[in-house]
Structure 1
Amino acid sequence: MTGTGARQGQEKPRAGLWARVGDRLIVGGATVGDEGRDGEIVGLHHPDGTPPFDVRWSDTGRVTEVFPGPDARVQHFPPHGTREAGPVKAVTRS
């Protein structure tokens, strides 16, 4: 028997910074007015998805190994091949 929320394609929330390939790393700017950077995570060094990450930066296209600091966050996307629940459409009858 599976617990609640253990449906296929769903993950239990994890503590700390982690990512999957295809997620986006967003790093805050170092000074006021600096917009920061973002890039696609293209490689992982640990099977649990913890840093460091290989990131292809959107502003340069270069891939670098990144050890994210406290100003970084990961924007998660659904794993490839799974469906994310979309908006519910109202059914109307005539």
Structure 2
Amino acid sequence: MNARVGDRVVVEAIRLGGERRIGIITTVEHADGTPPYRVHWLSDDRTTLFFPGPETHIEAAAR
């Protein structure tokens, strides 16, 4: 998985009735774009260090 600052992180719900999480990448820790990422989550306005799992995908920001 590779990402850049400004890309969207989408974490699909893994449980029935669960909610999808969406965040914006604010910091990429490695120059090659690999995880972990600092992500600002839109649902609760928090920023966390995030290690994506298999339920995660990246949506590239408009460049």
Partner of 2:17: 33
| 1:30 shift after superposition | 2.6
| 1:25-67 Cα distance to aligned partner (Å, 9 max, x none) | 0001130121220100000100011100000000011100000
User: Are residue 70 (structure 1) and residue 57 (structure 2) matched?
Assistant: no
| 1:77 shift after superposition | 1.8
Letter paired with 2:21: R
TM-score by length of 2: 0.93
Runs of 4+ in 1 over 3 A off after TM superposition: none
Unaligned 5+ segments in structure 2 are none
Letter paired with 2:44: T
Q: Over alpha carbons, which structure has the higher Rg? A: 1
Q: Higher relative CO (CA 8 A, sep ≥ 6), structure 1 or 2?
A: 2
Unaligned 5+ segments in structure 1 are 1-16, 80-94
Tell me how many residue pairs correspond in the alignment. 63
Query: Following the alignment from structure 1 to structure 2, what is the Cα–Cα distance between the partners of residues 25 and 72?
Result: 7
Taking every aligned residue pair, what percent have the same amino acid on both sides? 41
Structure with the higher strand share, 1 or 2: 2
TM-score by length of 1: 0.64
Match of 2:30 among 46, 51, 57: 46
Superposition RMSD on alpha carbons, in Å?
0.9
